[in-house]
Amino acid sequence: MTLSVSDFDDFFSAVNSGDGIPHDGIRPFGWQRRLLEGLVEGGRWPDVIGAPTGAGKTSVIDIHVFSVALMAAGAAPRLPRRLSMVVDRRVLVDDQYQHACGVRDKLGNPSSEILAEVAHLLRSLRITADAVSPLMVTRLRGGMPAPRAWRDDATACQIICATPDMWGSRLLFSGYGSSSSSRPREAGLLAFDSAVVVDEAHLSRQLIRTARRVAELAAISDRPLPVPVLQVVEATATPDEPGAMVMVDVDEADLTESPTLEERLRTPKPVEFLKLPTWPIPAKGTPRTTALASMVECATRLRDTYGPTIGCFVNNVATATDLAALLGKRGVTRLVCGRLRPYDLDRLRDTNPGLLSADGNPAVDFLISTQSLEVGVDLDWAAALIEPASGSAIAQRAGRVNRRGKRADTRIVVVVPEKDVGDKANTAPYQPEDVNAALTWLHGRQADPRGLAPWALREDPPPSQRRHRTLLQRAELGDAWMWARTSDQLFATADLDLWLSDNLAEDLDVGVVVRQGLPTDPVAAIELLRALPPFDYEAIPVRINTCRKRIDDISTPVFLVRDDEVSIYSTGDLRPGDIVVVDASSSIFTVIDGMPVVDQTGSCAAADVLEGPADPETGQFVFRLGHGPFLDPATCNDDETRTAIAHVLTVATTLMSTDGLDSRRARTDLADALDKLTPVLAEPVADKVRAAIQVLRKTRLKDFEVHLLGEPPATLLITDNRRMVHDETARQQWTPRQRVPLQAHAAAVAERARITSDQLGLESLSTLLELAGLHHDDGKADPRFQFSLDPQRTSEQPLAKSDMSTLRQITQARAQSGLPAGWRHEQLSVLACWSALAHLPTGDRDLVARLVGTSHGQGRHGFPHTATELTGDDTYRELARLLYDEGEWDHLIERTHSTFGVWGCAYLEALLRAADGQVSSEGS
C-alpha cells in the first residue's frame, strides 16, 4: 500500500485498540486530524495545543509516529524524528511511556496491514543492522539511572518521555545523571531533528522560554545544518502569547462530529462540599480523628451510591496512609502515593489489572493517592473525594472522574474548611493564597450543574497559581558557550534552575536503591556495586533534601553512584540524577501496600528487588549467591542449604585460582556444582538457580561475566555483559565478538557515518563525517594502548577492540600498559590525522579535527595532557605543543562553534559517536 493522510484513522484505531475493542472501534477526534494535517502541510509542529483534559492529548505520540512514517513514504516534508513528551509529574511520564511502549510493541508485531506498512516505513529510516524495533521509546525522569540507548541511533523515529529537569538539563549540556562525556551528544540530539511537547505548560513557563531560546540560538551559525531545529509545543489552554502563536484546539464542530468527545467534555461533574471544622488536617489529636472519620463516611457513601472505584486525592502521605487504614475496613483499598520505584508500579499493575487505566478494576473500592495521579493518568473513577489544592490541581483531579463520560451520574466532593485558610497555614505542597483562590472559584462551580466538566472550565477556567518568579531568565549565546565546556573542571557549575524551573526553591529528585547483604568493608561494597550497578526498576525516587535528612539516620555505609562512578557517600553531597545505595537494614522507609517510599518519618526497611523482574530484559540478568535476599547463608535457617551454598563457593574459588572463571570448562564445572544445589531449594529460588545454570552452559562466554568477590570469596555473581553495548567507556575497547583490527573498525565507522549523514539529509557534510570516522581512532595505534588491548602481543596488526571477555580484564590490562591516568587516544588521533586533512579548506579541516578529537566526548574545550605527556613521538611534538600547550585547540573549538553553532557541533558529534557505537555494538 502507499501510505497517505487518509490512512490515519485506520492507524489510530489499530494502535489504540485493546482487549474487547475492535480495530475499527476508536477513531481520532477532529483536532487530532487537524494536528496531523498541519504537520504534513507546514512541516512543523504548532506552538500550542489547547485541548482540554480528556480530549486525548497523549495521542500526539500516535500522530508523531504516523507523520514520520508519511515522511519516510515521501508523503510529508522533512519532520523531526524525535518527539519528547515533557511533564512535571512522574506518573504521567510513566503513563505516556507505557502508551508509547504499547505503540512500539504493536508495530514490532503488526496485526494489520496498516501497522505493517507503518512499521516497514519506520524501519526504512534506520541504518543499524540490528534495528529490531521500528520505534525507539525512552523514559527520562529523576530518581532512576539514566538510559543510554536512545543516543545510539539518530536516524530512528523516537519517543522520549521525560520530566522537565531531566529533559532541560540535557538540552543545556548538563544532563542530570549523565556522564560529562555523554552530555554533548544528548544536547545535540535534543536541539536538532526534535520536537518537544510540554504538557501542563503553565507549570513550566521558564522551561518553555529556555527551549524556544535554544531553538533560536541553535540556528545562529555561519553554516546552518539542513535538519529541523528544535520545535517547541506548549500544551495549555492559556498560552503566554496567544495572538502570536499557531494553535491547534478543540472546537464545537469536533464535539458535533464525535459523540464520544462530547460525552468526555460535556458530561456534568457536579461538585459538593464536605465541611471540616479544622483544615488543614492536624498531624494528631481529636481534630484529626474527626476529620478522617468524616472523610471515611463520605467516601463510603460515594462508593455505595456510585459504585467502585472511588478516588481519594489527599495532599500528603501521612493522610493517605491513615485514610487507607480506615477505608480498608470498609472495602478493598489501594494506595498510590509518594515516589514509587518502577518495579512496585509494575507489580501493582500486575496484581490489580486495569486499576491504573481507564478500564478500571471493580474489585477495588477505593484508590487513594497524593499528587501522583492527578495529571494525565487515564483513570475513569466513579466519583472522587479530594482535599483542597490549587485550582489547576483540582481541575486535573476532576479529570480522573467519569473520564469517558459514560456514567449517568457522578460526584466530586471537595473538602472545605469552615473559614478561609490563614496565610501561615501548612497547606503544602500548595500555597495558602492558591488554595483560597481555588475555594472561591469552586463555590461558583458548585452552583453550576455542569460542575467541573472540562468544557465548562473553558468558560470558567481555574485561577492560575501564583508565579514563584516575577521574571523569567533568557539564555544568551555566552551562556551556551559556557555550558558547552563539558570537559572542563569548572570552579563552579551553573545553577540550571535559573533556566529550567518556575520555582527556584524546587527540590529535585535522586534515587535510592536497596541492596541486601552489602559487604561491611566499604572497598568490597564498592567493588560489588561496580560489578553490579543499579538498574532503573529498583530505584525509589526521593527529593534531595528529604534524602539528605534520612541518610543521616543510617548507621551503615551509604554509597553514591554518579556518572558511572561509585564512592562512599559524603554528607550533603547530592546532585539531581544521583543514585544512593543503602543496605536493606536501613529503616528510612514508609511501606505502603508493600511499596516503599522515602519520607520524613518512615521507620521501616525495604526489600531488595534486584532479581525481581520475572522476565529480565537483555542486560538485566543477575544471579547472586552468598549475598542477597535468596541465597545468603547468613539468613538461611537450613544447614543443608548453607552447606550446599558453601560447596558452590568452594568450587568457584578453586576454579578461580586455577583456570579462572572465563573459560568454557570452568563455567561447565561451576554449573555442575550449582546443579547439586537445586534439590535442596524451594521454588521460585530453585528456578533462579536453573536460569544461572543455563547461562553458564549455553551462552557465549563474552555475553555473561562471572565474578567472585570478597576475601575469602563470599559472593558469586553472574551478570549480563550485553549491557556494555550502551557503555561508552567499555565500548572503546570491548566488543561482543572477537578482536577487531583497527583499520577494519575505522573503515566501518567511516562508512556508517556517511550513510547516517546521507539518510538525515546532510549530504553536504557526508564526506567530512566519513573522514572523521576514518581517523577517529588513529591514536589507538600507540604501542601502550595496543598493549592494553593485547597484553600477550598475539596480533600481527593494530587492534581497535580487544578479545578479552570482561571489563575486569580490560581494566587490569590498561593499568599495566604504562599509559598515564586519563590518557585519551583521540587526543593523539588529532595529531596523527592532521597532515591527512591538509588538503581541506580551513573550516572543513577544523570540523573534521574537532570531530576526531571529541569522538568520545572529551576535548571540549581542552584535554588533560600536555604535548610531553601525550606522546614521545617527535613527529607530533611541535603540532602537539601548538594545539594543546599554546591553546590552538581551544581556538579551533571556538571557530567551529561560530561556523556550525554550539548545538550544531554537538549534533554532528552525536552522529559520529552514534556511528562508532553502532559499529562497536555489532562487533565491528
pLDDT digits (tens, 9 = 90+) for 231-246: 999 998 666 666 668 8
Tell me whether residue 132 is exposed, middle or buried, using C-beta atoms within 10 angstroms of its C-beta: 0 to 12, 13 to 18, 19 or more: exposed
Per-range mean pLDDT, top range of 298-302, 594-598, 614-618: 298-302
**147-174 mean pLDDT:** 94
Model pLDDT, residue 630:
74
Assess contact for 391 and 434: CB atoms under 8 A. yes
877 sits in which H/E element: helix 874-880
pLDDT of residue 729 exceeding 70: no
In the chain, pLDDT over 70 holds for what percent of residues? Answer: 94
Neighbours of 169 (CB within 10 A): 27
**789-817 mean pLDDT:** 76
Among 358, 360, 356, smallest CA distance to 342 is for 356
pLDDT of residue 25 exceeding 60: no
**Residue spans of beta strands (DSSP E) within 327-381:** 333-336, 366-369
pLDDT of residue 811 exceeding 80: no
| pTM of the full structure | 0.89
Quickly state the pLDDT bin for 21 (edges 50, 70, 90): very low
More confidently predicted of 527 and 274: 274
Tell me whether residue 34 is exposed, middle or buried, using C-beta atoms within 10 angstroms of its C-beta: 0 to 12, 13 to 18, 19 or more: middle
In the 8-state DSSP scheme, what is residue 145?
P
CB within 8 A of 712, min separation 6: which ones? 653
pLDDT of residue 731 exceeding 80: no
Quickly state the pLDDT bin for 904 (edges 50, 70, 90): very high
Model pLDDT, residue 20:
42
Model pLDDT, residue 618:
79
650 sits in which H/E element: helix 639-658
H helix intervals, 109-150: 113-125
More confidently predicted of 632 and 591: 591
Task: Determine the Cα–Cα distance for residues 261 and 51; give it in Å rounded to an integer.
Answer: 11
CB within 8 A of 175, min separation 6: which ones? 146, 166, 169, 182, 183, 186, 187, 577
Average pLDDT, the chain: 88
- Which strands make up the sheet holding 135-140, listed edge to edge? 135-140, 157-162, 82-86, 194-199, 231-235, 48-49, 247-248
Model pLDDT, residue 375:
47
Quickly state the pLDDT bin for 616 (edges 50, 70, 90): confident
Q: What is the rounded radius of gyration, in angstroms, for the C-alpha atoms of the chain?
A: 29
In the chain, pLDDT over 90 holds for what percent of residues? Answer: 53
Model pLDDT, residue 23:
41
Model pLDDT, residue 801:
79
pLDDT of residue 627 exceeding 50: yes
Quickly state the pLDDT bin for 22 (edges 50, 70, 90): very low
Task: Determine the Cα–Cα distance for residues 385 and 326; give it in Å rounded to an integer.
Answer: 15
pLDDT of residue 634 exceeding 90: no
**526-540 mean pLDDT:** 88
Task: Determine the Cα–Cα distance for residues 718 and 701; give it in Å rounded to an integer.
Answer: 12
Among 120, 58, 126, smallest CA distance to 92 is for 58
Model pLDDT, residue 718:
87
**912-923 mean pLDDT:** 88
- What is the per-residue pLDDT across 81-120, written as a single tens digit (0 to 9) for each? 999 999 887 777 888 898 999 999 999 999 999 999 999 9
**670-676 mean pLDDT:** 89
